[in-house]
Chains A and B, each alone.
Chain A
Amino acid sequence: MDKTTVQELIQPTIKARNVDVYYGETHALMGIDLDIAPKTVTALIGPSGCGKSTFLRCINRMNDTIPSCRMTGKITLDGEDIYSKNIDVVQLRAKVGMVFQKANPFPKSIYDNVAYGPRIHGLAADDKDLDEIVFSSLQRSGLWNEVKDRLDKSGTALSGGQQQRLCIARTIAVNPEVILMDEPCSALDPIATAIIEELIADLKERFTIVIVTHSMQQAARLSQKTAFFHLGKILEFGDTSEIFTNPRVEKTKDYITGRYG
């Protein structure tokens, strides 16, 4: 059986159908259809203002917090409509975690930063259980060896790259299914970026990852699938290896090769 047929048999984790988003009068997304496969890294690329972050924020209903924002269409997670009335948004955001451009640890200890989510969601039976979750999350985010002796120190005292990994540890502590990342490395130096990229490559064994990035090289290095957004539409979606060697759409080619479109 060839690769594509296997891929077709796997049900996508996230399915977007005919998604339109408006900010007041502004039509930010138009007719977005996208299938996001489980346990893969999907990169959303495109020029500023193309709607890629808006789409990312639709997946865990972050746009609900913006009063002027209105969405039509349908997004499902494992077949369930995430905009249905029965959905508990807090539960949804535990299932679909998010990592932002600027690391935003709580002004609390490293331990409490990671323990926060499991505590409010009641994921730990006792203190020993909570320790277990915190330690394993820090290990999986590659931060354990650097912080194991100072778990009571403030999370904000860490370096930028460490703070971002702390935020990733905090996200995976509640055992999400999907991790959304909005330019997670744009404020980091190349070494910290490489460490996070290595981490993302590991995380995709357990999680479905959707990443917005302005770095073409990062999208090429990290993702298996790439969607190119332009003026609120997806112009091209496919295997990253194909998009970066032989894009089918002229606009995609112009964008990734740095040409005037």
Chain B
Amino acid sequence: MPHNHILSSFDDELNDLRARIVKMGNLVEKQYQNALRALEHKDKILAEKVRKADRIIDVMDAEIEKQAIQMIALRSPVADDLRDIVSTIKISAGLERIGDYAKNLAKRVSVIRHEEAISVSSAQIGQMVTEISGMISDVIDAYITRDIDKAIDVWQRDKNVDSIYNSLFRELLTYMMENPQYITPATHLLFIAKNIERAGDHATNIAELVYYINEGELLALKRPKDDSSNYAEIDAN
């Protein structure tokens, strides 16, 4: 860890900023757990709770941004301090986006009605949520402890999310072809899955920012990209 600043109030502010990110990360992670539970149990009250809690995340993001801008104006940070503060703004914005996707999941709970399509797919949605929760929690951990190895690990795990998404995509297409009644719930589930897949990309971005804060350089490895659904075709016959 770096040395303390001579002006200890600057360290206090930096620590406060980090604490806010941790709090925000925890809340976003919890949003996914709750949204998944709401989906599995068709719990509209819980879904509504998730939607409301998203506003708290939005406020947290705005506050982090405000504090960071204030620190840039008043402290004139340079070097790793500057990278830290600027990246924190971006990390906060990333978490806010990840949170939006959880809210979107909760929104769709009330419109997904077809039992069968849900029961088979929700296991895989559950897997995606478990993956994404782990990524959020680990990337925040890496941010706090400045652990680059952990950040790289999160970065590489995005391909797991992508591969579950790809298999779910194919499966839902098959359902829709078999029975037009599945089209509405399967489409909603597809959007949910796509959103979680996007959340994974944002978590990967955060991992890259953690690397940048520490190293002052961009993560040079080739980004793990495994969403092949862009190229998927269905044979209508």
A residues at B contact (CB < 8 Å) = 216-217, 220, 244-247, 253-254, 256-261
Within 8 Å CB of B5, what residues of A? 257-260
In the bound complex, what is the Cα–Cα distance between A261 and B81 (angstroms)? Answer: 15
In the bound complex, what is the Cα–Cα distance between A246 and B217 (angstroms)? Answer: 8
Which residue from A217, A247, A260, A261 sits with its C-beta under 8 Å from B79?
A: A247
Interface size class of B (residues with CB under 8 A): 10 to 19
Check B216–A245 contact: CB distance below 8 A: yes
Q: How far is the CB of A257 from chain B (nearest CB, A)?
A: 5
In the bound complex, what is the Cα–Cα distance between A211 and B81 (angstroms)? Answer: 25
Number of A-B contacts (CB under 8 A): 44
In the bound complex, what is the Cα–Cα distance between A184 and B80 (angstroms)? Answer: 29
A-B contact pairs, 15 of them (CB 8 A): A217-B76, A244-B82, A245-B82, A245-B83, A253-B2, A253-B79, A253-B80, A254-B2, A257-B77, A257-B80, A259-B3, A260-B3, A260-B5, A260-B6, A261-B3
Which residue from A245, A246, A258, A261 sits with its C-beta under 8 Å from B10?
A: A258
**Chain B binding surface SS class:** loop
Q: How far is the CB of B195 from chain A (nearest CB, A)?
A: 35
Check B76–A256 contact: CB distance below 8 A: no
Measured CB to CB, the nearest residue on chain A to B10 is A258
Check A244–B78 contact: CB distance below 8 A: yes
Within 8 Å CB of A259, what residues of B? 2-6
In the bound complex, what is the Cα–Cα distance between A260 and B4 (angstroms)? Answer: 6
In the bound complex, what is the Cα–Cα distance between A30 and B2 (angstroms)? Answer: 28
Judge whether B7 is part of the interface by a CB distance below 8 angstroms: yes
Within 8 Å CB of B4, what residues of A? 259-260
Q: How far is the CB of A62 from chain B (nearest CB, A)?
A: 31
In the bound complex, what is the Cα–Cα distance between A217 and B73 (angstroms)? Answer: 12
In the bound complex, what is the Cα–Cα distance between A258 and B80 (angstroms)? Answer: 11
Within 8 Å CB of B80, what residues of A? 253, 257
